[in-house]
Structures are given as C-alpha cells and as structure tokens.
Amino acid sequence: MSNTDFDPIVDTTRRAEIVTLLKRAVLTGKLEPGQKLNELRISEQMRVSRAPLREAMRELVQEGILTSIPYAGTFVIEVTAKDIEDAYSLNQVLDEFAIERTWPNRTAAFSAELDRRHAAVKQATLDIDTTRQIETALQLHGLIYEWADHPLLLETWQRLTSRLQMYFALHQRARNEPVPSLEVHEDYVRLLKGDDMKAAQRHAREHIALDFEELVGFARTLEKRDRASAARKRIDT
C-alpha cells in the first residue's frame, strides 16, 4: 500500500487547498488507481473537519479523478487502456479544431502568453517537480482553447484536463522518469507562432501520440495486476 500521509491544513475553510492536496496525492501515486479514500484518516492528518473534505472529494468526483460508489465509499478512478485511448483520441480531435479556431485570433499577446507558459513548463522541468510540470504543460496546451472563442470547446477541454493530468503522471511513472525532456515543447510553441496551420495541427497530433503505446502498455499491466489480485482474493475466501 502506498504512503498516504497528509500534512495538516491550518485554515480548515480552504477547500481549494484540500482539493490540491488530494489531486497531488493521486498524481504522484500516493493514492493509487482504485484505492479507497479513508475520510477519517485523511481528515485527521489534514486537521480539517470531514465536511470540507467531503466537499473537496465531490469536486474531484465531478472532475473525474475520483468516483463515488453508493454504500462503498469514494475511490480513485481505475485506469484502463481503453480510458487512455478514448481520452487521447478525443484530445487529438479537439486540439486540431482548437488550433483552427485560434489561428486567426493570434496576436502579439497570444505569443507572449505562449512564451510565458512555456517558460513555466521549463522551470518546473528544471526543478524536477513532476506535478507542477504536468500542470504547467496542460496550461500551455490549454492556451489554444482559451483563444478559440468557443466556450463549449473550452468547457470540454477543462473537463478532460483532470483525466489527462492523471494519465500524464502515470506515463512518467511508466517511464520511471520524474519529468520529460526540457525541449519537448519547443516545436509545438514554434509552430503555433508560425505561418503553417496544417504543420501545427500535424505536430499537435504527433505530440499527443508521443509514447502513447508505452502508456497504454503500462495501463494493461495495471489491469493484469488488478485481475491477478482479485483472483487471489477469491481463492483466499
């Protein structure tokens, strides 16, 4: 079982901080896919009442990181190969559309913000901060959705990002590397500031597919492990 100790929170009204700590626990593997959350233990460790903790957990259920099962409790979502395939295939389609919508809206402010977010990703990479690297990378990719002038598209992206955060974290664990290379977004940023929209779209598709099979393979390994564990439990009982 992974180490799920949490540091206490001073301000018990800060639900956002509870959400952040729980999300980071999932992304770093302290809370593993399929693991049940022990409300009493977590609330004692954070030194918060169970009411704001439950509110934070409900928020993460809505984001798709946790799942609530009636009469059983709240669990970290299971991750299957199909889940990853679905999310990545949708991401590819959305990115292509977002780039098309954003392309005529690009300004100097867009390029400046793109560079700022790229710098944040590189700093997190240099700091070897896995969770912040993933968060800043998704913020970088999210810029095309923010500039697409399409609220429904942006809402769809925002709903997808929590799942992608979890999958990116699993990918880093699969590679046994805390962060990807420093140069991983150089071409992405350069092409988004360039004149060839098709090249930017093509690179976005390739960027999403980068090491995709490795992640799916890791998910299949987790599925086999879970099936073997379930089989052992049936034998023991």
What's 5's DSSP letter? Answer: -
Give the Cα-Cα-Cα angle 192, 195, 196 (nearest 5 degrees).
Answer: 80
Given a cut of 60, whether residue 188 has pLDDT beyond it is yes
What is the phi-psi region of residue 180: left when phi exceeds 0, alpha when psi lies from -120 to 50, beta otherwise?
Answer: beta
Pinpoint the residues of the chain covered by CATH 1.20.120.530: 81-218
Pinpoint the residues of the chain covered by CATH 1.10.10.10: 15-76
pLDDT at residue 190, rounded to an integer? 98
Mean of all residue pLDDT scores within the chain: 88
What does 105-132 look like in DSSP terms, one character per residue? G--HHHHHHHHHHHHHHHHHHHTT-HHH
81-218 is a CATH 3.40.50.720 domain: no
Reduce the DSSP state of residue 68 to 3 states and report it: strand
| Phi, psi (deg, nearest 5) at residue 81 | -60, -40
The pair of three-digit structure tokens given for residue 15, joined into one six-digit string: 């639900």
Reduce the DSSP state of residue 72 to 3 states and report it: coil
Among 25-29, 103-107, 122-126, 130-134, whose mean pLDDT is lowest? 25-29
Residues 63-86: what's their mean pLDDT? 90
Residues 6+ apart with CB under 8 A from 36: 72, 73, 74, 75
Q: 166, 140 in Cβ contact below 8 A?
A: no
pTM (two decimals): 0.79
Q: Which H or E run includes 76?
A: strand 73-76
pLDDT at residue 12, rounded to an integer? 47
CATH class of 15-76: mainly alpha
